[in-house]
Amino acid sequence: VTRTVTELKLRGILDSRARVTVEAELTINGTHTGLGSAPRAIAPGRLERRRGPDVTLGSVESPALRQAFCGHDINGQRDCDALLDEIGSVGEAGADLTLAVSLAYARAVAASQAKPLYRYLSGLLNGLMDTVPKLPGLMVNVFSGGIHLDGPTAGFQQVMVLPATGTLIDDIRLASDVFAAAQRMTEQRFGQVGLSASSGLLVPLDSVGQLELAASAIVAAGGSTACTLGVDVAAEHLAAGPGRYRFGSQELDSTAFARRLAEFATRYPLSYIEDPFDPADIAGWRQLRSMVTMAISLVGDDLFATDAERIDADLADGVLLKLSQAGTVTATLRAAAAARSAGMLIAVSHRSGETEDTAMCDLAAAVGADLIKVGGPRRGDRLAKYNQLLRLAEHVDGWRSPDPSMTELKGTP
Ligand code: 2PG
Ligand code: MG
């Protein structure tokens, strides 16, 4: 089948922080149209592909994209993304524009094949990796800190709860209960608290206080046997010079910071640590790995920046996949395949500034990701993702139906 791009529209739209990001609308053969948009981080990692120049709301012009796509036959995601890479590499489009177009093309083709997006994406994995679509486990942001907190605090960017009841529906229920318990407990102490960009609670507590409270909230929600905790240290943003980190009121060298993290791993039910060190602090990564048990996954976000070439199983146990870091669907799938062939865990992630796009959920299902993080269960930009996962649960094979013995969602206080 020939797939001629008959129309490509680009526009500036609002993200969840009311910053402007881009959306693409692409039509093939005049019949099938797909939408795609790019999220926007508060502060992208050093190794990430760059966003393009700021765009304004409404129609956006990109002569290079128009010329390469409009009226041309583009016969597969790989061709589409190779073209986008080329345009990106000569500086004609940033990773935000290329991602938006790549996702819009994927959705247009999936629609023309009457396939849900996850099925289409899983078809693209042929020859790249062997996988059966499955739903990921959740990592739910409870407390935010670091640069996600308004104001200068040197702490973890996210404290998350990882429910593991065995079904998505019960996981969502339990995580929502833990979140509600954490909110109730913090509001009893501090009065009303705000929400961060990722819909985590913004509390006047340091990281230790947050871990304590999250552990208590798990108990209060009756989740002690089914929940662990995870943190995104986002250490790149804590770095105070090579191999030095600001943490609370202290400045620690790499070894002292590794010891601190390893100590947390013994005091709290931690199962996941993301970006414990700066990407340049290779010694730090190796050191922590030798200090913590196998029960804890060390995962690279800013470390690998969703780049297949950077992925290295000697440094971490897992890879965080962010479509906006890779810049195209194909580059993201390549990173997933590289992670799997290295025997590493795969986690898929949202960004701090999100749109209503839910492609990351389909991506997670298609690559059979182990984990996904889409923020706290508050506000539409994050709920869109939880709700897409619920829809996917009806499709994806191998996902058990809910256990009726689990209690009903208790709801927010
Ligand atoms: C992260 C993400 C999302 P940001 O660090 O993993 O939680 O944050 O989009 O700000 O990079
Ligand atoms: Mg991160």
177 CB near ligand 1 (under 6 Å):
no
Q: Do residues 151 and 360 lie in contact, with contact meaning Cβ atoms separated by under 8 Å?
A: no
Residue 410 has what pLDDT?
A: 31
Residue 409 has what pLDDT?
A: 36
Q: Assess whether pLDDT exceeds 90 at residue 137.
A: yes
Q: Assess whether pLDDT exceeds 70 at residue 44.
A: yes
Q: Tell me: the pLDDT tens digits for 324-344? A: 999 999 999 999 999 999 999
Confidence of residue 149 (pLDDT cuts 50, 70, 90): confident
Residue 152 has what pLDDT?
A: 55
Q: Do residues 110 and 82 lie in contact, with contact meaning Cβ atoms separated by under 8 Å?
A: no
47 CB near ligand 1 (under 6 Å):
no
- How far is it, in rounded angstroms, from Cα 130 to Cα 286? 29
157 CB near ligand 1 (under 6 Å):
yes
350 CB near ligand 1 (under 6 Å):
yes
The DSSP code for 202 is E
> Which class for 389: exposed (0-12), middle (13-18), buried (19 or more C-beta within 10 A)?
buried
Q: What average pLDDT does the segment 352-364 reach?
A: 98
- Starting from the CA of residue 275, give the closest ligand: 2
Q: Assess whether pLDDT exceeds 60 at residue 413.
A: no
Ligand 1 pocket test, pick from 19, 48, 157 with the greatest ligand atom count within 8 Å of Cβ, gives 157
Q: Tell me: the pLDDT tens digits for 61-112? A: 999 999 999 999 999 999 999 999 999 999 999 999 999 999 999 999 999 9
Our measurement of the distance from residue 247's CA atom to the centroid of its chain's CA atoms, rounded to an integer in Å, reads 24
Residue in 9, 39, 63 with CA at minimum distance from that of residue 363: 39
pTM of the shown model: 0.95
- Starting from the CA of residue 274, give the closest ligand: 2
Beta partners for residue 8, in sequence order? 26
Q: Tell me: the pLDDT tens digits for 111-132? A: 999 999 999 999 999 999 998 8
Q: Assess whether pLDDT exceeds 80 at residue 408.
A: no
Residue 150 has what pLDDT?
A: 65
Residue 397 has what pLDDT?
A: 60
Distance 71 CA to ligand 2 centre (A): 39
Q: What average pLDDT does the segment 258-276 reach?
A: 97
Strands (E) across 341-396 are located at 345-349, 371-373
Quote the percentage of the chain above a pLDDT of 90: 91
139 CB near ligand 1 (under 6 Å):
no
The Cα-based distances of 355 to 36, 137, 197 in angstroms read 10, 22, 12
- How far is it, in rounded angstroms, from Cα 26 to Cα 191? 47
Our measurement of the distance from residue 400's CA atom to the centroid of its chain's CA atoms, rounded to an integer in Å, reads 24
- How far is it, in rounded angstroms, from Cα 220 to Cα 214? 10
Q: Tell me: the pLDDT tens digits for 364-383? A: 999 999 999 999 999 999 99
Dihedral sign (CA 83, 89, 94, 99): positive
Quote the percentage of the chain above a pLDDT of 70: 95
Beta partners for residue 228, in sequence order? 162
- Got the DSSP string for 264-286? HHHHS-EEEEE--S-TT-HHHHH
Chain mean pLDDT for the chain: 94
Q: Assess whether pLDDT exceeds 90 at residue 205.
A: yes
The Cα-based distances of 237 to 53, 144, 205, 276, 328 in angstroms read 23, 14, 18, 11, 26
Query: Which atom belonging to ligand 1 lies closest to the Cα atom of 234?
Result: 5
- Starting from the CA of residue 40, give the closest ligand: 1
Q: Assess whether pLDDT exceeds 70 at residue 403.
A: no
By residue count, the chain amounts to: 413
Q: Do residues 203 and 212 lie in contact, with contact meaning Cβ atoms separated by under 8 Å?
A: no
Instruction: Give, using CA atoms, the residue closest to atom 2 of ligand 1.
Output: 351
Q: Assess whether pLDDT exceeds 80 at residue 9.
A: yes
Q: Do residues 274 and 198 lie in contact, with contact meaning Cβ atoms separated by under 8 Å?
A: no
Distance 202 CA to ligand 1 centre (A): 16
Buried b (16+ CB within 10 A) or exposed e, 128-157: bbebebbbbbbbbbbbbbbbbbeeebbbbb
Residue 396 has what pLDDT?
A: 87
- How far is it, in rounded angstroms, from Cα 78 to Cα 104? 14
Ligand 1 pocket test, pick from 232, 272, 273 with the greatest ligand atom count within 8 Å of Cβ, gives 232
Q: Tell me: the pLDDT tens digits for 185-203? A: 999 999 999 999 999 999 9
- Starting from the CA of residue 48, give the closest ligand: 1
Residue that wins the pLDDT comparison between 350 and 52: 350
Residue 193 has what pLDDT?
A: 95
